[in-house]
């Protein structure tokens, strides 16, 4: 059977839209589940580290792939002039290739898996050529992804060639498909940076993409891909089902519905704006409002469709997906709206849940207390929590603490107490931060992590281990905390305790590279550079992006006097983890040795900006100020180092030396 007949056989298969959709959704879930399982510390994508993983697994990633599927479908339709139903059947089978990605990644990474993010923005367009350079490992694309994309490109080229017998069209298809995939990779951060493109710096792009009206980052990403689906869905339906697009955007039947929704949104904004002023700074907010309007159009059209029609199935699936993105409360109200429109003779009653759905975009789970408003306190709590979270993400901890402290006076909530404690830690007040975090009766992963880091900075390693052991007993990320216990034992030179913790961590699926990194740290601390080098090399064998192993190599080269090689390793590590405060400090130390004091000073300041509790960076800054003859500034830095860690002897010795 030749390829043309094979494709025709696929196109002639008979199955409903719902079967096709569920099949594709199942393929996406299989990929996500495999990827999550291979990460080790997560089980089927759910982890206490990320309590909102539901949105990532069942909403964010499915919408990402559905959007790519539809854009490629449109490319095929445009170039082959084929019916959208036939093309979608072939493409559906081809998209099964995405299941291969996590399998390849786990083999290539030797069990370590990959941590990947979206591309930084559209400016990375100039670096497309790097994707095809197979002599290098990419930071933002795994080998599985590269092979997956290449297979899709080959499949797209072949399909168009078989259908059209035209090489030019096949090459165009290949280019367009790659651009579709690339644009999906850059879209979130490009949209997030829109204010900065216009010179606005009120919020960093990280905050804009991570938090707005919707407090969960995966929901915000899902909003972007939902709108992408609606846009390309409109073009596809214009080609294949023009009458359906007319039904969706029929203002005669949906005008009052849209007006009611808008009034709900406006009312919500008016109530929250005295406390949360960031709504109009945030590009995601406008996308959320737009998605809500379009969802209302879609659901309204579904209510007017015949019960057994394909139109109803398409519109219902789309309506449910987009309503879930906008939050469970929005979904509840939009479902009530649909049922009233579909089943009741008093259709005007549907305007009430539509108004409530608009209001729910702003207040989410607090909607039932605030809509009249019944409880003005609930409005202030919601607004100030949102504002506090924005300030916190932007590392403006003083403003964040003001907001959270005001909120805590209204609502004594453990989540708020945690943020206040973290603000104190980030502002250098370790004692107060610890005191507040210790008050939380059932600390979550984030609280435990903050407490452990604070005790470590104070040099109280025994207390740190106690905190981590309590977390393990409560089954809060045991793999993560066994590793942290092993790290402490390694730094303290306790080989037996380190080995025991590492063995236990393996039982919970920890990656081998982490084990070798910690052993490398242990031998480096013992002064055995040969064994340390061997361990770090093994760690990099299992994961070429193992940051601590790269930093360990940098330290070894540093101690050997090979400054150039040390600098290379630290720069590699920083390329992978640009927010790692310790790396800036280590690189700064290199420049200090080579007497490049200006470079060193800037790096130490960056280290402190990333982590205000960086004892070593304060100390190193003090050394630079001493070299420059700025003794008062040097003393101030040494005192700051001691404030973070009162037992930090090097700073105390420098102070005593200056006073003599």
pTM of this structure: 0.86
- pLDDT score recorded for residue 212: 65
Average pLDDT over residues 391-396: 84
Interatomic CA distance for residues 50 and 54, integer angstroms = 9
Which tens digits make up the pLDDT trace of 448-468?
999 999 998 888 889 999 999
The model's pLDDT over 610-620, given as tens digits with 9 standing for 90+, comes to: 888 778 889 88
pLDDT band at 208 (very low <50, low <70, confident <90, very high): low
| Whole-number pLDDT of residue 45 | 43
Structure token digits, residue 266? 């406006």
pLDDT at 37: 67
CB 46: neighbour CB atoms within 10 A?
14
Q: Is omega for the bond preceding 472 within 30 degrees of 0, making it cis?
A: no
Sorted by sequence, the CB contacts under 8 Å of residue 308 that are 6+ apart come out as none
- Cβ burial of 252 (10 Å; 0-12, 13-18, 19+) is exposed
Question: Which domains can be identified in the chain, with CATH numbers?
Answer: 1-192 (no CATH), 237-411 (no CATH), 579-660 (1.25.40.10)
Mean pLDDT of 40-59: 57
d(CA 151, CA 157): 10
Distance of alpha carbon 104 from alpha carbon 577, whole angstroms: 23
- pLDDT value for 537: 94
């Amino acid at each position: 059977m030749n390829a043309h007949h094979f494709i025709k056989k696929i196109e002639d298969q008979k199955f409903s839209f719902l079967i096709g959709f569920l099949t594709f959704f199942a393929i996406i879930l299989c990929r996500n589940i495999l990827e999550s399982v291979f990460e080790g510390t997560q089980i089927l994508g759910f982890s206490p580290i990320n309590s909102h993983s539901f949105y990532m697994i069942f909403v964010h990633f499915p919408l990402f792939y559905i959007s790519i599927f539809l854009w490629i479908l449109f490319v095929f339709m445009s170039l082959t002039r084929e019916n959208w139903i036939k093309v979608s059947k072939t493409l559906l089978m081809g998209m099964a290739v995405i299941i291969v990605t996590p399998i390849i990644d786990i083999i290539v990474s030797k069990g370590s898996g990959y941590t990947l993010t979206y591309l930084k923005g559209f400016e990375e367009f100039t670096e497309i050529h790097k994707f095809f350079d197979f002599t290098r490992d990419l930071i933002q694309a795994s080998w599985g992804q590269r092979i997956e994309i290449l297979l899709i490109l080959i499949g797209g080229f072949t399909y168009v060639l078989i259908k059209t017998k035209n090489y030019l069209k096949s090459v165009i298809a290949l280019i367009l498909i790659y651009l579709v995939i690339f644009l999906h990779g850059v879209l979130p951060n490009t949209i997030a940076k829109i204010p900065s493109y216009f010179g606005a710096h009120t919020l960093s792009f990280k905050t804009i993409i991570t938090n707005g009206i919707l407090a969960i980052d995966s929901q915000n990403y899902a909003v972007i891909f939902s709108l992408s689906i609606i846009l390309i869905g409109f073009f596809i339906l214009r080609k294949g089902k023009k009458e359906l697009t007319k039904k969706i955007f029929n203002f005669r039947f949906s005008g009052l519905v849209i007006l009611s929704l808008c009034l709900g949104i406006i009312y919500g904004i008016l109530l929250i704006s005295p406390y949360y002023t960031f709504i109009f700074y945030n590009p995601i907010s406008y996308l959320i409002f737009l998605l809500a309007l379009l969802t209302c159009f879609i659901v309204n059209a579904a209510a007017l469709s015949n019960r057994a029609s394909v139109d109803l199935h398409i519109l219902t699936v789309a309506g449910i997906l987009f309503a879930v993105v906008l939050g469970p409360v929005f979904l509840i109200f939009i479902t009530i709206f649909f049922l009233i429109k579909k089943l009741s003779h008093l259709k005007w009653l549907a305007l009430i849940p539509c108004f409530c759905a608009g209001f729910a975009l702003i207040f989410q789970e607090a909607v039932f207390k605030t809509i009249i408003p019944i409880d003005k306190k609930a409005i202030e709590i919601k607004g100030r929590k949102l504002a506090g979270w924005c300030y916190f993400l932007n590392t403006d901890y003083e403003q964040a603490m003001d907001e959270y402290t005001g909120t805590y006076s209204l609502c004594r909530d453990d989540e708020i107490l945690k943020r206040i404690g973290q603000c104190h830690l980030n502002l250098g007040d370790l004692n107060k931060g610890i005191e507040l975090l210790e008050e939380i009766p059932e600390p979550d992963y984030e609280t435990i992590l903050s407490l452990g880091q604070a005790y470590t900075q104070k040099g109280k390693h025994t207390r740190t281990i106690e905190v981590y052991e309590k977390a393990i007993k409560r089954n809060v990320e045991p793999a993560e905390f066994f590793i942290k216990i092993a790290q402490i034992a390694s730094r303290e030179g306790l080989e037996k305790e380190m080995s025991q913790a590492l063995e236990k961590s393996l039982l919970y699926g920890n990656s081998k590279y982490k084990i070798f990194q910690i052993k490398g740290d242990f031998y480096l601390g013992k002064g055995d550079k040969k064994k340390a080098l061997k361990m770090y090399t093994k760690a990099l064998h299992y994961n070429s992006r193992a940051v601590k192993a790269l930093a360990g190599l940098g330290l070894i080269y540093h101690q050997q006097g090979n400054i150039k090689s040390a600098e290379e390793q630290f720069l590699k590590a920083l390329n992978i983890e640009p927010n790692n405060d310790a790396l800036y400090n280590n690189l700064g130390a290199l420049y200090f040795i080579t007497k490049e004091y200006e470079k060193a000073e800037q790096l130490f300041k960056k280290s402190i900006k990333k982590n205000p509790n960086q004892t070593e960076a304060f100390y190193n800054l003090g050394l630079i100020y001493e070299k420059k003859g700025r003794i008062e500034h040097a003393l101030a830095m040494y005192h700051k180092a001691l404030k973070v860690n009162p037992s930090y002897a090097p700073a105390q010795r420098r102070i005593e030396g200056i006073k003599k």
